[in-house]
Amino acid sequence: MKLTARLAGAAVAAMALVVAMLITAPPAASAQLTEVTGFGTNPTNLRMHLYVPDGVGTRPALLVAVHYCTGSGPAFYSGTEFASLADQYKFIVVYPSATRSGSCFDVSSPQALRHDGGSDPVGIVSMVRYVQQRYNADPARTYVTGASSGGMMTNVLLGAYPDVFKAGAAFMGVPFGCFATTDGSSWNSTCANGQLIKTPQEWGDLVRAAYPGYTGPRPRMQVWHGTEDSTLRYPNFGEEIKQWTNVHGLSQTPSMTDQPRSGWTRTRYGGTGTTVAVEGISLQGVGHSLPQGGMAAMVLAFFGLDTPGPSQTPTSTPTSTPTGTPTVSPGACKVTYSMNTWNNGFTTAVTITNTGTTQLSSWSLAFTLPAGQAITGAWNATVSPASGAVTARNVSYNGTLAPGASTQFGFQATHNGNTAAPSSFALNGAACTT
């Protein structure tokens, strides 16, 4: 089948997608979607639209939201919930627009699949750099999501630019490198039909080869797919999970499986909390029509953007207490920090015990990671930034800590040979014993 015919079919699917996605109006705020030009290196002349909420903080998070074939940045802005959620949680959203025939993004050329190789990914990264410089956006809280062609681009950006993006959420995507072609075409039928099957190691090697010599932390990945997807077929969902668990050095056996909604099966790898290294959501009976209502909020929870960022909430330190946080007397807390290390990574179990006489309704634990260590995923807490002086904050279900009670969270991290533990901890601003 010729590419034009395929794109015509994609257009029909996209129209259905737009109808399914038009579940919210643009946010009722004075902030407006604006087009930005001259944002940096842009080899394929992508267009950039930007949404900056009213009241955004001094160090905001940044989300790149990438549209489907035949779509545009403004259409993805109007048809998804990310802008209204940005108003609520005060992060900035970039909406790129593809300029090729069919308005699909390049996820297949050799240039697109190599770090700084050229094509669409370079233009998108330029948009990110522009917002980081112009609005002081936080590089440690820079994320990407997308649907269909945008879901494929999410995989590409996380694979080729692990130094830029901390996590991604791909709706109806395919693994990094799955759509690769060398004949100048932009369609790969074998991949689209779910017939390109590789071992986890082979998929992981494709990602590692995209940025030779990179040894830093890898982005976390959340993938969504409907079992009845006839455009980018369902087997791609399993291949994405194989790829990203391998990239993170994890087993393909889930750490947790549940059903957050009827017909949904969620699997988590590398932990059981909300911000694990890899998460997959399989949707029984759903076709090529994602995201749907409420899914954007689950993306934000996976990213950790559903809580105030450091520009809205003061960070705990051993010498100060955040405003409104239950106080802890010095020495009225104990921390146990247990590490399981391997050649270039480790997991940590952290136990906090309230040894005081006052019940806590919320908690934050501040500590400094030794040089060369960087967090790639956490469970039972939100932890930011990824390195240096970090703060772990309770999630919705474990904020209460009665006198004598304990709670535990954990995280996975990389290291460069330094496997030392933090030298001190502070709970809600007060030093703890270890």
45 CB neighbour count, 10 Å cutoff: 11
Strands, E assignment, 62-199: 62-66, 92-97, 142-147, 167-171
> What's CA 41's distance to the chain center, in Å?
24
Helix (H) or strand (E) holding 153: helix 149-160
344 CB neighbour count, 10 Å cutoff: 11
CB proximity list for 212: less than 8 A, separation 6 or greater: none
HSE-up of residue 193 (Cα within 13 Å, Cβ side): 5
Is the CB of residue 320 less than 8 Å from the CB of residue 330? no
Is the CB of residue 432 less than 8 Å from the CB of residue 333? yes
SS3 337: strand
- Dihedral through CA 32, CA 33, CA 34, CA 35, nearest 10? -170
177 CB neighbour count, 10 Å cutoff: 24
Helix (H) or strand (E) holding 14: helix 3-21
Distance CA 123, CA 119 (A): 7
Closest to 264 in 3D by CA, of 304, 307, 222, 220: 222
- Options 108, 126, 148, 289, the catalytic residue: 148
Q: At what angle do helices 295-303 and 82-89 cross, to 10 degrees?
A: 50
130 CB neighbour count, 10 Å cutoff: 18
Strands, E assignment, 259-344: 264-269, 278-283, 333-341
Is the CB of residue 415 less than 8 Å from the CB of residue 398? no
Distance CA 4, CA 379 (A): 45
Q: How far apart are the first and last CA of the chain?
A: 66
HSE-up of residue 87 (Cα within 13 Å, Cβ side): 13
Based on the residue annotation, tell me whether 148 is a catalytic residue of this protein. yes
Active site residues per annotation: 148
